[in-house]
Amino acid sequence: MTKDPKTVEYHSATGGWGSVRGMRDTALRERPSLGALDTLRRQNKTGGFMCTSCAWGKPKHPHAFEFCENGAKATMWELTSHRCTPEFFAEHSVTELRSWSDHDLEHQGRLTHPMRYDAATDHYVPCSWDEAFASIGAELKTINPKSAIFYASGRASLETTYAYALFARLYGHNNLPDSSNMCHETTSVTLNSLIGSPVGTCVLDDFEECDAIFFFGQNAGTNSPRFLHPLQKAVQRGCKVVTFNPIREKGLIEFISPQNPAQMLTGKGTQISCNYLQVRAGGDIAAIMGLCKFVFAEHERQGGTVIDRAFIAEHCTGFDAFHALADATSWERIEQESGLSRADIEAAGRVYVDAKRVIGVYGMGLTQHVHGFENIAMLVNLLLMRGNIGRPGAGICPVRGHSNVQGQRTVGMSEKPELVPLDKIAAQFGFEPPRDQGMTTVDVCEGLLDGTVHAFIGLGGNFLRAIPDQSRIEPVWEKMQLTVQIATKLNRGHLFNGRTAYLLPCLGRSEEDIRAGGPQTVTIEDSFSHIHGSLGHRTPASEHLKSEMAIVAGMAMATVAPNPNVPWEAWTGDYALVRDQIAETYHEQFHDMNARMFEPGGFYRGNSAREREWKTESGKAVFTSPEMLAATDVADADGRYRLVTVRSNDQFNTTIYGYSDRLRGIEGKRDVVLMNPADIDRAGLRAGQRIALVGDAGDGHARRIDGLEIVPFNLPDGTIVGYYPELNPLIAVTHHDRQSKTPAAKAVPVRIEAAA
């Protein structure tokens, strides 16, 4: 593993003392309330609360401290002693706050009071909860329900989400996009159509049995650090890890476990990847095609023993067409499109062929592309060739982002009516739910641009900052009649308001939620389809906060006609009653939910594809023959780059904890473009120079960000990297996965211009 002295990088392993310092820096900044350490000790353990950071599984036998640097930061960020009060809003106008950074806005601390936006003074002013609910209900009643959007950001519990989606349907729409629409919606659509399950087929135990793990575009060290423990264990028992990623991400190279005193003291970690292939952005269809070609060739060479023909004959369709396509695709094109050499791809293919059980892991590096569907379909092809789906130690493993984003989809938060048991819901609650397609995130953006969206409710999140084409959408956002944001902290999305606008502060998951029926538990679903109860213990940040469930119920009661089967008050007093309803709607998966929610390791709701029961149209698992080899449809051209937007370990999405991307060696700044030294030379630029990036979508809209600093970095030619969300204005809303409409935040076509 060579080090290029001309590029910036981090010279230590992931984990280790660096991660401990990372947590300390957040603690010093946030001065979390006394007792936060006690909360951390209970994090991700039965009877404790489930981390609000990522969705990685919670093991049956947790570590003494079952949290990572990011989970600790997320908890301290929520339990901060800073408060964002009515006095703060009296001091600063909303327009003034728009010039603040994402970090500075959230750093003000927890929101304490319900607030109404007063357009006359351009300030948020305090209001009562009753006033807020009455006014929201009155506004919603005057508009066509089909023009209202109920968004959720993947954190709210199964109980709240179930009630929220029911509220939307009682009111009259399926416009229920959640953050999944910008994230793993490509997974839901692709896996559902190819293997008949919208979620991954692996469980945590599979990582104890697999012989190889193939990683595509998932940055475990930064984004799901607790994954590094099972990964390290797997490597130590001889499992091979092969990584495809344009960036040499530290966590997939070396890891020092902060839970291991010997490693901490000696500074000697575990090497993770045995093969690391720096595929160019958008090059995975080609790279995986190369792997598959190698498997076909080895099958011939080894006398027909490599491909699992029996499995394919019994379980799959489309194999022959795919075989013909692989034969017809030349290595020359594969090398050109992937940016990898045939020798490197074949060496990786050798690991695949030699392994009995293989897991395919992936993240945003596959989903957030114009041909994200085909990216994932190619990974499915590769796995199916050797029967690596539906047996222990093997499978497909999309790593989900938000802690309950998968669960929200499971319990009805979906704009796709075909994914929701609407007949069951109709019978259970005695009303006719809408059956038409609701709006995805991209549909909402387009609806805002053409003026057909009139109300937006955000159950958490920072929609306006997370979407593409932000600079075009911010001004039209304010034409809406009603905007409501339910949040813990102030963010940029709260600074653009409809004619009537409310900012409603809620409890965080680590906080005690005492209702008529006593302290309330909530539940969430992790990336492995396991359901966990979560009990908050901390004193709420302010006495004026309400739980998300109470806020949803408050809005619903003010908006929809009373329904004897939907007792909002009773549900708000005792969430167990909502769990009974979830168990009724989704009986097979959620039966006895109240009794099972504290099972160690969570209860498993099952997955048909894991059992090799394929709930697809053909009843079989599907081989796909993609028509393209590049995951983008923008041709290569002189001066055009493929921009990848990524996260640092010092942020959680639009929440910017600080300015240290320790694992990439970038400190104190985020206004950067990473570029390889040869590309810098070719473009006649120099390290440290300030430039502008401009969008190159070719649709006539100007997209530009000025003043970015060039940082030399080890990357494939033509691939450049910058930070999300700062660079979102460069992404055209039309740049999305063609099948699922997930915005394509990777391989964004851009050019470089002189800074203004």
Ligand X SMILES: Nc1nc2c(c(=O)[nH]1)N[C@H]1C(S)=C(S)[C@@H](COP(=O)(O)OP(=O)(O)OC[C@H]3O[C@@H](n4cnc5c(=O)[nH]c(N)nc54)[C@H](O)[C@@H]3O)O[C@H]1N2
H/E segment holding residue 556: helix 548-559
**Binding status of residue 745 toward ligand X by CB under 6 A:** yes
The CA–CA distances, whole Å, from 546 to 110, 163, 510, 534 equal 13, 15, 14, 17
- 13 vs 279, which CB is nearer to ligand X? 279
Residues for the chain: how many in total? 756
H/E segment holding residue 502: strand 500-505
Binding mask 285-324 for ligand X (x = CB under 6 A): ----------------------------------------
On whether the CB atoms of residues 726 and 732 are closer than 8 A, the answer is no
Q: Which does 470 bind (CB under 5 to 8 A by kind): ligand X, Mo ion, none?
A: none
On whether the CB atoms of residues 218 and 361 are closer than 8 A, the answer is yes
Q: Which does 742 bind (CB under 5 to 8 A by kind): Mo ion, ligand X, none?
A: none
Distance of closest approach, residue 627 Cβ to ligand X, in angstroms: 18
CA–CA separation, 720 and 731 (whole Å): 14
**Binding status of residue 461 toward Mo ion by CB under 5 A:** no
Sign of CA dihedral 475, 480, 482, 488: negative
**Binding status of residue 398 toward Mo ion by CB under 5 A:** no
On whether the CB atoms of residues 464 and 470 are closer than 8 A, the answer is yes
Choose which of 175, 186, 187, 222 interacts with ligand X (CB under 6 A).
222
């795919």: which residue's tokens? 322
Choose which of 32, 376, 746, 749 interacts with ligand X (CB under 6 A).
746
Residue of 172, 158, 100 whose CA lies nearest to 494: 100
Choose which of 183, 326, 351, 466 interacts with Mo ion (CB under 5 A).
183
Scanning 1-9, 12-20, 396-404, 527-535 for contacts with Mo ion by CB under 5 A, the matching segment is 396-404
**Binding status of residue 183 toward ligand X by CB under 6 A:** yes
Q: Cα(first)–Cα(last) distance of the chain, in Å?
A: 39
CA–CA separation, 433 and 610 (whole Å): 32
Q: Which does 461 bind (CB under 5 to 8 A by kind): Mo ion, ligand X, none?
A: ligand X
- 224 vs 497, which CB is nearer to Mo ion? 224
Residue of 281, 206, 325 whose CA lies nearest to 626: 325
Distance of closest approach, residue 69 Cβ to ligand X, in angstroms: 8
Q: Which residues pair with 721 in a beta bridge?
A: 644, 674
Other C-beta atoms closer than 10 Å to the C-beta of 254 total 20
The CA–CA distances, whole Å, from 123 to 119, 459, 460, 583, 591 equal 7, 22, 21, 44, 48
CA–CA separation, 47 and 41 (whole Å): 11
Q: Which does 463 bind (CB under 5 to 8 A by kind): Mo ion, ligand X, none?
A: ligand X
Distance of closest approach, residue 223 Cβ to Mo ion, in angstroms: 9
Q: Which does 440 bind (CB under 5 to 8 A by kind): Mo ion, ligand X, none?
A: none
Residue of 410, 417, 435, 433 whose CA lies nearest to 585: 410
CA–CA separation, 685 and 695 (whole Å): 19
On whether the CB atoms of residues 65 and 41 are closer than 8 A, the answer is yes
Sign of CA dihedral 192, 198, 201, 202: positive
Choose which of 195, 326, 644, 675 interacts with ligand X (CB under 6 A).
644
Q: Which does 102 bind (CB under 5 to 8 A by kind): Mo ion, ligand X, none?
A: none
Distance of closest approach, residue 550 Cβ to Mo ion, in angstroms: 26
Scanning 357-365, 420-428, 432-440, 534-542 for contacts with ligand X by CB under 6 A, the matching segment is 357-365
**Binding status of residue 241 toward ligand X by CB under 6 A:** no
On whether the CB atoms of residues 52 and 157 are closer than 8 A, the answer is no
Choose which of 117, 216, 496, 575 interacts with ligand X (CB under 6 A).
216
Scanning 86-94, 377-385, 521-529, 639-647 for contacts with ligand X by CB under 6 A, the matching segment is 639-647
- Cα 671 to chain center, whole Å? 22
CA–CA separation, 426 and 556 (whole Å): 18
Pairing outcome for strands 530-535 and 521-525: antiparallel
Scanning 241-249, 563-571, 575-583, 673-681 for contacts with ligand X by CB under 6 A, the matching segment is 241-249
Q: Which does 355 bind (CB under 5 to 8 A by kind): ligand X, Mo ion, none?
A: none
Choose which of 334, 444, 486, 550 interacts with ligand X (CB under 6 A).
486
- Cα 51 to chain center, whole Å? 15
Total binding residues toward Mo ion, as defined by CB under 5 A: 2
On whether the CB atoms of residues 751 and 720 are closer than 8 A, the answer is no
Distance of closest approach, residue 465 Cβ to ligand X, in angstroms: 7
Scanning 1-9, 133-141, 217-225, 574-582 for contacts with ligand X by CB under 6 A, the matching segment is 217-225
**Binding status of residue 534 toward ligand X by CB under 6 A:** no
Binding mask 541-580 for Mo ion (x = CB under 5 A): ----------------------------------------
Which 245-284 residues touch ligand X, going by CB under 6 A?
245-247, 249, 279, 281-282, 284
Scanning 195-203, 280-288, 400-408, 572-580 for contacts with Mo ion by CB under 5 A, the matching segment is 400-408
Q: Indicate the DSSP class of residue 178.
A: B
Which 323-342 residues touch ligand X, going by CB under 6 A?
none
- 69 vs 185, which CB is nearer to Mo ion? 185
**Binding status of residue 401 toward Mo ion by CB under 5 A:** yes
Angle at 380 between CA 378 and CA 383, to 5 degrees: 110
- 194 vs 541, which CB is nearer to ligand X? 541
Q: How many CA atoms lie within 13 A of 130 on its CB side?
A: 0
Alpha helices in 49-157, H assignment, sequence order = 69-78, 86-91, 94-97, 102-107, 129-142
Which 28-87 residues touch Mo ion, going by CB under 5 A?
none
Choose which of 19, 75, 190, 218 interacts with ligand X (CB under 6 A).
218
Tokens of 11: 């010279």
- 215 vs 614, which CB is nearer to Mo ion? 215
On whether the CB atoms of residues 38 and 670 are closer than 8 A, the answer is no
Which 52-111 residues touch ligand X, going by CB under 6 A?
52, 54, 70, 106
Distance of closest approach, residue 54 Cβ to Mo ion, in angstroms: 9
Is 264 exposed, middle or buried (CB count within 10 Å of its CB: 0-12, 13-18, 19+)? middle
Residues that bind Mo ion in the complex, under the rule CB under 5 A: 183, 401
Residues that bind ligand X in the complex, under the rule CB under 6 A: 52, 54, 70, 106, 153-155, 179, 182-183, 216-219, 222-224, 244-247, 249, 279, 281-282, 284, 363-365, 368, 401-402, 459-463, 466, 486-489, 491, 506, 508-509, 548, 644-647, 649, 651-655, 724-725, 728, 731, 745-747
